[in-house]
């Protein structure tokens, strides 16, 4: 019988049925709105070193931005420089960013530079309609600039073009092309805070990167097939928000700090924001847009610090940056519905009415069926269980141990001999876990284990009391009955040095024997400790539903988080 080939064209909101085996998707369609008024301030403090001849600070003024989903209205912008600079200039750069440059001659005293503003941000997640055909017709005007290839966004690299053509083969609408590229990027990459390189090819080849890499790889793939993409720099704010899903909440949020994302141009929609780490056709209203450009090598003006020194002078100025945001008004009403298609990693989207073929993540092949048992099995002695004597260490292990996030910047020297500190995107991804909620992180055992200790990536900020860990059973994919409790750790004896470090919790006295399966690490505390637990964006190690919390008002662990805490499990195992 001849094979039947067909193309399925449908609306994003249509009911889908797949007669294929595929990996469970983490694609959520969101509906609702956010409305916030944000009092925002970014401050820098620089202490000049002896022999400094000049100091120059550049700041970009955040601009009002409108799109079909995310909107930012900026008002009451205030700059404060102390002491007053020797010279201050304002100009528009080639991409339309308004840049303020302040210069101090022969500075000796500490300098502070701050920008404060009110951002009225609102997000509307209602069905979007787009019918732009693909390939996109010839782009004219300023949007054409954002088809260029750069060193960090090599849209002309043959490997990038080949992959983009593979992903968009046969599609007829721009949205179809964009959603396929974005879904592939999300599944291809794993987030790391400090990658070896920030360009698209590094991420294409290794599958690793931070927010800059996600932006560059998505931009390179889309530009290579004629879709304009510009890179956006700004700040994400740490205030979380909930999307109601089923009988619980999906809590979403980002670390507070510098961030990179993209805008994609649709002729019938205009510029629309995407975060290639997790969202398409929108960013939440916790994003403050500041600067746009071709790539992150071009979007360097905001927060740029440059200086010159007398001949023979070594060293660099002391530097500290802080970001503060208050929400006098904050309203969120969002629901989320999980879809049966999409990437394996988290992707958030509004409902979109457009012709497209749903992206389905590549499935892991099922194990081969067991072979038939021979009719006659020779009698053998039952072997004794292998001794549990092999040290085992596993978990979500990668985090920047001991880093003081307030002071991290790298010094570079320009071709003119000026030294500079550029903004970086090393952000403190951590949750304050000793307040009115309890947090739990799943881990999965593939072999039996005698548990000895568990360590968490923690930083103590103050307070007093005790911490401990409970190991809980997994019951219907939620934390269940307690199996064991660790020794208590005195908060007063924890390190007070800046930075996150492994804090061990001892289970050796319990001699807990764990069979293969899922278990939960639940952090408990008494007193009034102020402790943060570091996390990784996405789910680098565990399952998508493996990070949970419950408040004092919750009877069950029905609330899930979109990230994975850093943890280390140690014990003795054996084959």
Question: pLDDT tens digits, residue range 307-362?
Answer: 999 888 888 899 999 999 999 999 999 999 999 899 988 899 999 999 998 888 76
Helices 174-188, 158-167: axis angle to 10 degrees equals: 120
Structure tokens belonging to residue 211: 């927010």
What does the pLDDT look like over 110-147, one tens digit per residue?
Answer: 999 999 999 999 999 999 999 999 999 989 899 999 99
pLDDT-derived band at 387 (thresholds 50, 70, 90) equals low
Burial of 491 (0-12, 13-18, 19+ CB in 10 A): buried
The predicted pLDDT at position 193 comes to: 86
Task: Using the CB atoms, write b or e for 113-123: b if 16+ within 10 Å.
Answer: bbbebebbbbb
pLDDT > 90 fraction of the chain, expressed in percent and rounded: 76
- Choice among 206-210, 294-298, 400-404, 527-531 with the minimum mean pLDDT: 400-404
pLDDT at site 337: 95
Q: What is the pLDDT of residues 212-254, one digit of tens each?
A: 999 999 999 999 999 999 999 999 999 999 999 988 899 999 9
What per-residue confidence (pLDDT) applies to 388? 58
**Hey, is 491 helix, strand or coil?**
helix
Q: What is the share, in percent, of the chain residues with pLDDT greater than 70?
A: 90
- Kindly report, residue by residue over 525-575, the tens digit of the pLDDT: 999 999 999 999 988 899 989 999 999 888 899 999 999 999 999 999 975
* Domains, the chain, with CATH or none: 27-31+125-294+331-353 (3.10.620.30), 35-123+301-329 (2.60.40), 390-410+419-573 (2.60.120)
**pLDDT for 26:** 84
pLDDT digits (tens, 9 = 90+) for 42-56: 999 999 999 999 999
3-state secondary structure of 193: coil
**Each residue's pLDDT tens digit, 414-450:** 767 788 888 888 889 999 999 989 999 999 999 999 9
> Residue 237 has which token pair?
């704010």
Mean per-residue pLDDT of the chain: 89
Report which DSSP code applies to 134.
S
Taking the C-alpha atoms of residue 283 and residue 237, their distance in angstroms, rounded to an integer, is 12
Question: Beta strands 352-353 and 128-129: pairing type?
Answer: parallel
* Between 404 and 282, residue with greater pLDDT: 282
Report pLDDT for 408.
62
Lowest-pLDDT range, 191-200, 266-275, 287-296, 416-425?
416-425
Contacts 24+ apart (CB under 8 A), 537-540: 537/191, 537/277, 537/278, 537/429, 537/563, 538/190, 538/191, 538/277, 538/278, 538/345, 538/346, 538/562, 538/563, 538/564, 539/345, 539/346, 539/563, 539/564, 540/190, 540/191, 540/396, 540/398, 540/564
pLDDT, residue 404, reads 81
The CA-based angle 569-573-575, given to 5 degrees, is: 140
Instruction: Give the per-residue pLDDT at 299.
Output: 95
Which element (helix H / strand E) includes 482?
Answer: strand 478-485
Residue 367 has pLDDT above 60, yes or no: no
What average pLDDT does this structure show over 6-24? Answer: 36
pLDDT above 70 (res 257): yes
The reported pLDDT for the residue numbered 99 is: 97
| Angstrom distance (rounded) from CA 278 to CA 562 | 10
In order of 22, 151, 322, 464, the CA distances from 113 in angstroms are 53, 32, 11, 35
């Amino acid at each position: 019988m001849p094979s039947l080939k067909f193309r399925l064209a449908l609306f994003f909101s249509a009911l889908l049925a797949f007669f294929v085996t595929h990996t469970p998707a983490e694609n959520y369609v969101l509906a609702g709105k956010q409305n916030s008024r944000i009092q925002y301030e970014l401050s820098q403090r620089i202490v000049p070193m002896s022999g400094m001849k000049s100091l120059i600070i550049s700041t970009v003024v955040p601009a009002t931005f409108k799109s079909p989903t995310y909107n930012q209205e900026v008002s009451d912008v205030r700059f404060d420089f102390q002491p007053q600079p020797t010279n201050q200039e304002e100009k528009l750069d080639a991409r339309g960013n308004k840049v303020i440059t302040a210069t101090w001659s022969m500075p000796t005293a500490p300098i502070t530079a701050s920008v404060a503003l009110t951002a009225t941000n609102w997000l509307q997640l209602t069905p979007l309609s787009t019918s732009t055909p693909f390939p996109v017709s010839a782009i004219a005007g300023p949007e054409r600039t954002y088809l260029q290839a750069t060193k960090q966004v090599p849209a002309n690299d043959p490997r990038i073009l080949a992959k983009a053509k593979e992903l968009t083969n046969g599609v007829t609408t721009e949205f179809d092309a964009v959603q396929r590229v974005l879904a592939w990027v999300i599944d291809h990459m794993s987030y790391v805070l400090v990658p070896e390189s920030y360009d698209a090819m590094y991420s294409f080849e290794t599958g690793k990167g931070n927010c800059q890499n996600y932006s560059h790889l998505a931009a390179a793939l889309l530009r290579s097939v004629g879709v304009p993409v510009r890179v956006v720099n700004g700040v994400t704010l740490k205030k979380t928000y909930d999307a109601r899903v089923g009988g619980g909440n999906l809590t979403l949020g980002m670390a507070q700090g510098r961030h990179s994302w993209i805008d994609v141009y649709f002729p019938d929609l205009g510029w629309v924001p995407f975060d290639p780490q997790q969202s398409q056709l929108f960013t939440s209203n916790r994003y403050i847009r500041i600067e746009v450009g071709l790539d992150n090598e071009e979007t360097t003006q905001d927060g740029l610090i440059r200086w010159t020194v007398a001949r023979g002078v070594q060293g660099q100025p002391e530097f500290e940056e802080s970001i503060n945001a208050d929400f006098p008004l904050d309203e969120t009403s969002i629901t989320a519905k999980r879809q049966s298609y999409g990437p394996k990693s988290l992707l958030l989207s509004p409902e979109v009415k457009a012709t497209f073929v749903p992206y389905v993540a590549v499935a892991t092949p099922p194990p081969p069926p067991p072979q038939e048992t021979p009719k006659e099995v020779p009698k053998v002695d039952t072997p004794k269980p292998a001794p549990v004597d092999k040290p085992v260490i596993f978990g979500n292990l990668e985090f920047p141990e001991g880093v003081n996030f307030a002071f991290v910047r790298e010094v570079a020297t320009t071709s003119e001999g000026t030294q500079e500190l550029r903004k970086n995107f090393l952000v403190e991804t951590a949750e304050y876990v000793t307040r009115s909620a309890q947090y739990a992180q799943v881990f999965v055992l593939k072999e039996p284990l005698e548990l000895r200790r568990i360590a968490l990536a923690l930083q103590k900020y103050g307070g007093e009391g005790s911490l401990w860990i409970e190991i809980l059973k997994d019951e219907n994919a939620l934390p269940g009955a307690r199996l064991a409790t660790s020794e208590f750790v005195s908060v007063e004896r924890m390190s007070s040095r800046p930075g996150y470090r492994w804090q061990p919790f001892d289970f050796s006295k319990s001699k807990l024997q764990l069979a293969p399966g899922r278990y939960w690490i639940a952090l408990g505390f008494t007193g009034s400790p102020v402790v943060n637990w570091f996390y990784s964006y996405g789910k680098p190690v565990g399952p998508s539903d493996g990070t949970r919390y419950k408040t004092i008002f919750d009877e069950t662990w029905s609330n899930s988080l979109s990230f994975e805490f850093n943890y280390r499990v140690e014990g003795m195992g054996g084959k």
